[in-house]
Amino acid sequence: MNEKSTPASESLPGNLQDLLPQLEALYTDIHAHPELSMQETRTAGLAAERLRAAGYEVTTGIGKTGVVGLLRNGNGPVVMLRADMDALPVEEATGAAYASKLTATDHAGNSVPVMHACGHDMHVAWLVGASTLMAQTRDSWNGTLMAVFQPAEETAEGAQAMIDDGLFQRFPKPAVVLGQHVMVGPAGAIGGRKGVITSAADSLQIRLFGRGAHGSMPQASIDPVVMAAATVLRLQTIVARELSPSEAAVLTIGSLQAGTKENVIPDEAVIKLNVRTFDEGVRARVLAAITRIVNAEAAASGAPRPPEITPLDNYSLVSNDEAATTTVAEAFRRHFGAERIHQTGPTSASEDFGSFGAEWCAPSVFWFVGGTDPETYAKAKAENRLNEIPTNHNPRFLPVLHPTLETGVQTLMVAARAWLANGAGD
């Protein structure tokens, strides 16, 4: 989103200030009651309740817990706004008065702490606010607004679950699909770009097989711990030695598990890793290199059987449509002023938002809204300590309520009205 010197001049209809106390109460309630992926029944219920109260046609249970609200308001384009709802298995350490103290049972049957460590609670509040105000001001626009509350973004299954459950057949095709995410950055600032904005992501589980033995008799073993350690180190050379400096990729080993006792060499080790890429060719090469290295290290160790490499989840690239992004960026500059809009580079975070536009063959635009206290951000930047600000997925990640809350409501409204009020996309 390129900056220009256009001053802020356009105002939105409706009274956001009157609605803010309700939205703040909704946000803190959802934050205190987070739900894991595909378990978002309470959150979905709150979203559906607010949509019905605003006059939307509401359909629930799409892709298990997804919610769609339609507000038909005469002839004009269909605009889809999306928010994700799920939380993470993270123990909250923010110290907020509304901090989560809940635990839940995950898909593997384990009891885990749960926290909105990625800001999806803010996303829900944003979309509820924008949907409510758009309904209250329907005399100022024409078309159909489709509000989509999506489950399970964190496990890369929610968007596809809604699609597989007939989203495209049950609802009108949108002229544009719009979405946003709260991120580290000055609260009130908005960032985006044309083209690729979030990376592709692939998560893999690797089981390495050895032969167990007593810790005092390593010669009787084929040690999977040593095999795993060698594999981890060699995997790091993919980015360092197999990719050009101009090619971007991230390869992270997030889990390495082996054995239960210090004097017992186990039979196997399990590695879980995550790869982020911005180009399909680079992605294919990195995944092929992982397979090659894992198998070679096992063979070099004399493993009794080949490793098992199991995909866990994957996210496609999210790529913003050029023309639609131009429309959104120009609308943002008119409303907010150029000083609050900036162009970002592609981020190594990943999203399943792109599935809606790509599979529906509809243009889509995704952008970021800052959620960090502006003074805190400015001080950290001046002291070269930006990496110390808690990021998404950190136990201390907590967007400041204001102006984050009102900014996200406004961005959704401004972007939607670029089509609904002005006829763009007809």
Give CA–CA dist 205/314, Å, rounded. Answer: 12
- Nearest 5°: the CA angle 94, 149, 394 is 20
Distance CA 253, CA 388 (A): 21
Could you tell me if 369 and 141 are in contact, meaning their C-beta atoms sit under 8 angstroms apart?
Answer: no
SS3 annotation, 205-227: EEEEECECEECCCHHHCECHHHH
Phi/psi zone of residue 43: left (φ > 0), alpha (ψ -120 to 50 degrees), beta?
Answer: alpha
What is the distance between the alpha carbons of residues 127 and 51, in angstroms, rounded to a whole number? Answer: 10
Residue in the block written with tokens 């959150």: 43
Amino acid at 14: G
3-state class (DSSP) for residue 90: coil
In one letter, which amino acid is 252? Answer: T
State yes or no: 118 annotated in a binding site: yes
Nearest CA-CA partner of 212 in 253, 282, 263: 263
Structure tokens at 382: 């001046």
Q: How many CB atoms lie within 10 A of CB 76?
A: 20
| Residue 120 among known ligand-binding residues | yes
Residue 127 amino acid letter: L
130 in Cβ contact with 83 (< 8 Å): no
Is residue 128 within 8 A of residue 50, CB to CB? The reply is yes
Nearest to 371 by CA among 199, 180, 198: 180
Is 402 flagged in the annotation as binding?
Answer: no
Residue 271, token pair as written in the block = 């590695």
Q: Which residues of 35-68 are buried (b: 16+ CB within 10 A; e: fewer)?
A: bbbbbbeebbebbbebbeebbbebbbebbbbbbb
With tokens 């597989």, the residue in question is 164
Cis peptide bond upstream of 174, omega within 30: no
154 among annotated binding-site residues: yes
- SS3 at position 412: helix
Question: How far is residue 150 CA from its own chain's centroid?
Answer: 11
Coil/strand/helix, residue 160: helix
Shortest CA distance to 84 belongs to which of 126, 28, 145? 126
State yes or no: 361 annotated in a binding site.
no
Binding residues for Mn(2+): 118, 120, 154, 181, 393
Binding residues: 118, 120, 154, 181, 393
